[in-house]
Amino acid sequence: MSEQIPYIALMGNPNSGKTAIFNLLTGMNLKVSNYPGITVEMKRGIALISADKTIEIMDLPGTYSLTPQSLDETIVAQQTLRWMGGKNKPRAIISVVDAANLSRNLYLTSQLLDLEIPVIVALNMMDHIRRRKQDIDSKALQQLLGVTAVIPMSAREKWGIAKLRETIADVHQYTKAQSALQLQIPAEINIQLQPVAEYFTNQCGYSNDLALGQSLRVITQKSALDIYRDQNIVNGDKINKLHELRDQAANEIDKLGMDHHILEATLRYDLLDRVLAENKIIIREEVESVSQSEKADRILTHPWLGPILFITILYAIFQSIFTFASIPMYWIDASIGMVGDYFIRIMPSGILRELLVEGIISGVGAILIFLPQILILMFFLTLMEDSGYMARVSFMMDRIMNKIGLHGKSVMPLMSGYACAIPGIMATRTIDSWKERLVTILVLPLMSCSARLPIYTLMISAFIPKQQIMGIFSLQGITMVVMYFLGTGTAMLIAAIISRFLKEQGRSSFIMELPPYRIPLARSIIRQLYIRGKLFIINAGKIIMAISIVLWFLASFPKSGADGQPATIHQSYAGRIGHAIEPIIEPLGFDWKIGVGLITSFAAREVVVSTLALLYNVEGGGDDIIGITEALKNDINPLTGLSRYTPLVALSIMVFYVYAAQCMATFAIVRNETNSWKWPIYMIIYMTVLAYFGSLVVYQGGILLGYS
């Protein structure tokens, strides 16, 4: 972001409804395409604040404090540190506060007040408070905090948002927060803070208040000081000097009988709890009252009913992906056929028509067909996340995850891996243990992502019989579920193995809020589906179209063989490449066409399906689009006179793709997130070995058992 563009920062606790407010303010006007899921990096959007005025909104990850513990919190801490240095400050901060959790949310707000930036408090979830026939005196709260405005609202019921927009519209008039909240620092502690505070004033040019606040923070937590070096704000000898002063002060404070680790939080909460009570702002916080969520959890997180329910839900989702999607898939398939036929009719035959119909339409069309399945999967994942159920799954699974070297907080990233590994890997930033985060990242690509769906679906619908088992389960659906569970189970196993080789860095902990259950908002689900669908189509448009065009040339040329006869596809460049690697993959039951697919799909897994579609269409070369499912079923090996693809081959292909390391984007993001090429390379090696031998065992084992 350049220095000149004015913007507003949106900050708040996790589960405060921050993202819902961001969505309301910005509508669908996202600046960058974001992956669905929690905010783990900064999202930016353009908000329309009056008839003719817009302003950029920066959505920061949810955090309880400006003192960083996990990576996503570090992102927030680094950003605020830049602001303290006067760099590219926002015009104002919207501090989103969950009114039902006032004191804990205001803790963060009180830290924001020190930043010398105007603060607008969005007092969200007031619908909960009013339903309980309570209220919060927003005027009193505003005066107490010294903020620009306190706006009672409900992002859920969509009220108060207009007032928030109006307040933002006048943002240029606001001055920095003039907080009436003054921390009561005992004199003997204040003396200890002074050397550090002075250093900040001299080296960073902080005002006295800010310097005092920062000295309190870095004394409380060393990590708050580390980001000064990471951000190159203070470095070299100076940072060592600062560390020295900080350690000295921390020691002295401990000698006074105070624990320096809890200094800032203790002082702030003492103040907050006292002033909120004095001003009668606090709503009654009764730990005895039993909420609806707690009642629901008697079943949903029951020691053994809970896990059974979770597995059942997963099973139902994977099975339904297969059953629900069949009708819309049929429509899309028919439409693509019609488009192909249309161009065949209106265009003269020739290279251009071949490229368009056999290359682009058959290649891209073969992928578009899977959009309904991806949307169905996303729908269920969003439902689980938005309802608050995913947090419960983390809670139930923490014990077992911890046993195999993962973390309760690994559950959410792993589950988003069912959609796509990339947002999953980014979501691991909430895990504050380095080791557990790394293990989660390394096994995450084993979770069957939506790019595997086209392959599974194609193989299953072509080769697995439409049978019912015990009247209610379909054999095709079960095969789908088995593939998902195979990937997930292997991920757990690999995690257990890898974590034995990684050194532990102290004991990790699992401190997580369990937010109340909420009925997910239709508009938020639709938004997620829209974003995901758009990404999928853009991806199909870019990568797959490019590969399809290149592949079409490779498969169509040379047009004539060495003997002057028209060349068959086997003699084309693609055919030669495929035949060259055939000996390596023959033991897996794969032929040269799959071989070509393995190469093209290294960029992205789903490309294998469009590759096969394209190869059959070029081979057919006729005046018709060939359906890929039929083509696979009808492919006869001329040497044996038998079908080339059998259910066994289909299984072998599916198992290969459960494990195969085939997604360039994933490796790039792993490289980014781990800061080294070492981990993505390990990942490619172990996944390729798993894929080859997994597939080999299936195919050769199947033959030994008498299947063909």
Partner 1 sequence: MPLKPLNSLNPGDTAIIMEFEGNSRLHSRLVEMGVLAGVKVRLIKKTPFQGPLEVKIRSYHLSLRWYDASQILVS
- Considering the rule CB under 8 A, would residue 586 count as an interface residue with partner 1? no
Q: Which two tokens stand for residue 470?
A: 């015990």
Which of 46, 265, 475, 521 is close enough to bind partner 1 by CB under 8 A?
Answer: 265
Question: Nearest approach, Cβ of 186 to partner 1 (angstroms)?
Answer: 16
Question: Nearest approach, Cβ of 577 to partner 1 (angstroms)?
Answer: 53
Containing 634, the helix (H) or strand (E) segment is helix 628-634
Given the rule CB under 8 A, which of 36-44, 119-127, 281-289, 577-585 is the region that contacts partner 1?
281-289
Given the rule CB under 8 A, which of 146-154, 188-196, 293-301, 680-688 is the region that contacts partner 1?
293-301
Q: Which of residues 520-559 bind partner 1 (CB under 8 A)?
A: none
CA–CA distances in Å: residue 293 to residues 26, 38, 306? 30, 21, 14
Given the rule CB under 8 A, which of 115-123, 205-213, 318-326, 507-515 is the region that contacts partner 1?
507-515
Which of 135, 157, 166, 294 is close enough to bind partner 1 by CB under 8 A?
Answer: 294
Cα–Cα dist 463/630, whole Å: 10
Q: Which of residues 201-220 bind partner 1 (CB under 8 A)?
A: 220
Specify whether the CB–CB gap between 45 and 56 falls below 8 A: yes
Residues that bind partner 1 (rule: CB under 8 A) add up to a total of: 44
Q: Which of residues 87-126 bind partner 1 (CB under 8 A)?
A: 100-101, 103-104, 107
Our CB check for partner 1 shows the closer of 435 and 452 to be 435
Short-list 582, 421, 440, 427, CA closest to 498:
440
Specify whether the CB–CB gap between 272 and 108 falls below 8 A: no
Specify whether the CB–CB gap between 109 and 93 falls below 8 A: no
Given the rule CB under 8 A, which of 63-71, 89-97, 481-489, 547-555 is the region that contacts partner 1?
63-71
Containing 92, the helix (H) or strand (E) segment is strand 92-98
Cα–Cα dist 365/356, whole Å: 11
Cα–Cα dist 37/363, whole Å: 30
* 520 DSSP 8-state letter: P
Question: Nearest approach, Cβ of 225 to partner 1 (angstroms)?
Answer: 14
Cα–Cα dist 649/655, whole Å: 10
Which of 226, 297, 354, 591 is close enough to bind partner 1 by CB under 8 A?
Answer: 297
- Considering the rule CB under 8 A, would residue 261 count as an interface residue with partner 1? yes
Which of 65, 80, 450, 548 is close enough to bind partner 1 by CB under 8 A?
Answer: 65
Burial class of 312 by CB neighbour count within 10 A (0 to 12, 13 to 18, 19+): exposed
- Considering the rule CB under 8 A, would residue 269 count as an interface residue with partner 1? yes
Q: Which segments of 290-438 are extended strands (E)?
A: none
Cα–Cα dist 463/640, whole Å: 19
Which of 244, 259, 504, 630 is close enough to bind partner 1 by CB under 8 A?
Answer: 259
Which of 236, 257, 303, 641 is close enough to bind partner 1 by CB under 8 A?
Answer: 303
- Considering the rule CB under 8 A, would residue 257 count as an interface residue with partner 1? no
For 197-227, b/e burial (b = at least 16 CB within 10 A) is bebbbebbebeeebbbbbbbbbbbbeebbbb
Given the rule CB under 8 A, which of 414-422, 501-509, 552-560, 598-606 is the region that contacts partner 1?
501-509
Containing 460, the helix (H) or strand (E) segment is helix 453-463
- Considering the rule CB under 8 A, would residue 434 count as an interface residue with partner 1? no
- Considering the rule CB under 8 A, would residue 633 count as an interface residue with partner 1? no
Residues 6 or more apart whose Cβ sits within 8 Å of residue 328: 372
Our CB check for partner 1 shows the closer of 125 and 648 to be 125
Our CB check for partner 1 shows the closer of 96 and 535 to be 96
Question: Nearest approach, Cβ of 510 to partner 1 (angstroms)?
Answer: 5
Our CB check for partner 1 shows the closer of 103 and 231 to be 103
Specify whether the CB–CB gap between 602 and 665 falls below 8 A: no
Residues 6 or more apart whose Cβ sits within 8 Å of residue 185: 193, 212, 216, 267
Q: Which of residues 435-494 bind partner 1 (CB under 8 A)?
A: none
Question: Nearest approach, Cβ of 389 to partner 1 (angstroms)?
Answer: 14
Our CB check for partner 1 shows the closer of 252 and 619 to be 252
Which of 202, 235, 349, 509 is close enough to bind partner 1 by CB under 8 A?
Answer: 509
- Considering the rule CB under 8 A, would residue 322 count as an interface residue with partner 1? no
- Considering the rule CB under 8 A, would residue 67 count as an interface residue with partner 1? yes
Our CB check for partner 1 shows the closer of 398 and 606 to be 398
Specify whether the CB–CB gap between 186 and 271 falls below 8 A: no
**Position of tokens 């459960």?**
658
Cα–Cα dist 642/636, whole Å: 6
Cα–Cα dist 408/396, whole Å: 8
Specify whether the CB–CB gap between 658 and 690 falls below 8 A: no
Residue 404, SS3?
A: coil
Q: Which of residues 373-412 bind partner 1 (CB under 8 A)?
A: 395-396, 398-399, 402, 408
Our CB check for partner 1 shows the closer of 89 and 409 to be 409
* Residue 579 identity: H
Our CB check for partner 1 shows the closer of 19 and 220 to be 220
Given the rule CB under 8 A, which of 299-307, 420-428, 546-554, 603-611 is the region that contacts partner 1?
299-307
Question: Nearest approach, Cβ of 101 to partner 1 (angstroms)?
Answer: 5
Our CB check for partner 1 shows the closer of 224 and 540 to be 224
- Considering the rule CB under 8 A, would residue 310 count as an interface residue with partner 1? no
Question: Nearest approach, Cβ of 99 to partner 1 (angstroms)?
Answer: 10
Question: Nearest approach, Cβ of 511 to partner 1 (angstroms)?
Answer: 5
- Considering the rule CB under 8 A, would residue 135 count as an interface residue with partner 1? no
Question: Nearest approach, Cβ of 303 to partner 1 (angstroms)?
Answer: 5
Question: Nearest approach, Cβ of 135 to partner 1 (angstroms)?
Answer: 15
Cα–Cα dist 213/328, whole Å: 58
**Position of tokens 């605020």?**
80
Strand bridging mode 119-124 / 149-152: parallel
Over the Cα atoms of the chain, what is R_g?
29
Cα–Cα dist 631/610, whole Å: 13
Residue 604, SS3?
A: strand
Residue numbers at the binding site for partner 1 (CB under 8 A): 64-65, 67, 69, 100-101, 103-104, 107, 220-221, 259, 261-262, 265-266, 269, 283, 285-288, 293-294, 297, 301, 303-304, 395-396, 398-399, 402, 408, 506-507, 509-516
